[in-house]
């Protein structure tokens, strides 16, 4: 499927573009904004060799332009090891609308980024708080992976075999982690009654207490769905997932999508449809023909009686 990137007309009114860029700079910047490797998040993988090929430039020319855009214009960052490029103002120009499809796409692409510092770099210039919060939660989570051991307190010789000391550290760590998760959730969605109830159900039923990103995606259904009772529908889907031992976001979302496709917009609609299906199944079973009796069979009513 082809991708389409549009450049806003304000591009040409930007003081940096208007006053500081040479014609070659403008051409190169337009390429960075619209080439086939661009993504929804403003961070994408591309090599200088590919840029040179696309533009018809030498590698040396591309290298010179990259340095100019990083150091002089300060509009991009490039990691030569991961071959990832980030565009500073991407969020301000291209991430002005939220909604579940956009958030899903952003989440999927953020997972592919290797250099977490680039996520932070782009997030600083995103004006829409809903999207910016997702960037922040993501790089905070990803940035802390693998360093928990460094933060863990080292036990002295006396404490090494002291169960109470170890328990104290573990409990404190769990409380700190819980507070951090609650703080992250608050930055994404205001903690109203509906949000609290869904999160409580999620945490209490083993869907993954620390999986903040999954909670974010599920909570998006409160605002971006056709349901007349979004909270009740989400909770019902979660209960079904628990009953089937499928405690995964994808399973819940699959249920919600099926309900939307069938125009079941309230809990009453779902219950009514389930009742109809059960009645139909029961009726089919009651009226299904039994096994045919072989033609050779003769019913002997006296069979088995004493003579």
Count of residues for the chain? Answer: 307
**Rounded to 10 degrees, what is the CA torsion of 115, 147, 126, 224?**
110
Q: Which residues sit opposite 79 in a β-bridge?
A: 84
The predicted structure's pLDDT at residue 69: 95
What pLDDT, on a 0 to 100 scale, did the predictor assign at position 79?
Answer: 94
pLDDT tens, N- to C-terminus, the chain (307 residues):
445 566 777 778 888 888 899 999 999 999 999 999 999 899 999 999 999 999 999 999 999 999 999 999 999 999 999 999 999 988 877 776 666 787 888 888 988 999 989 999 998 888 888 888 888 877 776 554 433 333 333 333 333 334 443 344 344 444 555 555 555 554 455 678 888 898 889 888 888 766 778 888 888 888 878 889 899 999 999 999 988 888 888 899 999 999 989 999 999 999 999 888 888 887 776 666 655 555 555 555 455 545 4
What pTM does this model have?
0.48
**Structure tokens belonging to residue 266:** 């309230």
For residue 142, which of 210, 215, 220 has the smallest C-alpha distance? 210
> Can you give the pLDDT at residue 53?
94
Residue 43's pLDDT is 94
Here the tokens at position 222 are 């409160």
**Whether the Cβ atoms of residue 77 and residue 86 lie closer than 8 Å to each other:** yes
Determine the pLDDT at residue 182. Answer: 53
Between CA 289 and CA 262 the distance in angstroms is 31
pLDDT of residue 77: 95
Cα separation values, 210 from 27, 94, 215, 228, Å: 45, 30, 9, 29
């Amino acid at each position: 499927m082809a991708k389409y990137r549009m450049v806003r007309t304000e591009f040409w009114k930007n003081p940096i573009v208007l006053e500081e860029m040479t014609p070659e700079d403008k051409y190169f910047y337009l390429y960075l904004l619209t080439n086939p490797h661009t993504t929804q998040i403003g961070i994408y993988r591309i090599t200088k060799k590919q840029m040179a090929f696309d533009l018809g430039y030498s590698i040396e020319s591309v290298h010179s332009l990259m340095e100019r855009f990083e150091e002089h214009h300060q509009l991009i960052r490039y990691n030569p090891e991961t071959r990832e490029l980030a565009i500073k103002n991407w969020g301000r120009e291209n991430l002005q609308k939220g909604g579940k499809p956009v958030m899903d796409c952003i989440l999927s692409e953020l997972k592919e980024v290797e250099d977490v510092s680039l996520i932070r770099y782009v997030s600083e210039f995103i004006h829409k708080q809903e999207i910016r919060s997702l960037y922040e939660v993501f790089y905070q989570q990803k940035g802390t992976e693998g360093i928990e051991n460094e933060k863990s307190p080292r036990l002295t010789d006396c404490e090494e075999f002291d169960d109470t000391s170890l328990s104290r550290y573990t409990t404190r760590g769990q409380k700190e982690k819980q507070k951090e998760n609650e703080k992250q959730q608050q930055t994404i969605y205001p903690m109203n009654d509906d949000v609290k109830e869904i999160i409580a159900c999620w945490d209490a039923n083993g869907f993954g207490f620390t999986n903040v990103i999954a909670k974010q995606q599920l909570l998006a259904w409160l605002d971006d769905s056709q349901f007349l009772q979004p909270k009740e529908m989400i909770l019902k889907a979660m209960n079904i997932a628990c009953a089937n031992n499928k405690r995964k976001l994808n399973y819940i979302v699959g249920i919600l999508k099926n309900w939307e496709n069938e125009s079941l917009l309230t809990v009453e609609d779902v219950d009514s449809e389930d009742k109809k299906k059960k009645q139909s199944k029961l009726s089919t079973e009651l009226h299904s023909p039994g096994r045919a009796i072989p033609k050779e069979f003769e019913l002997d009513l006296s069979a088995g009686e004493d003579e």
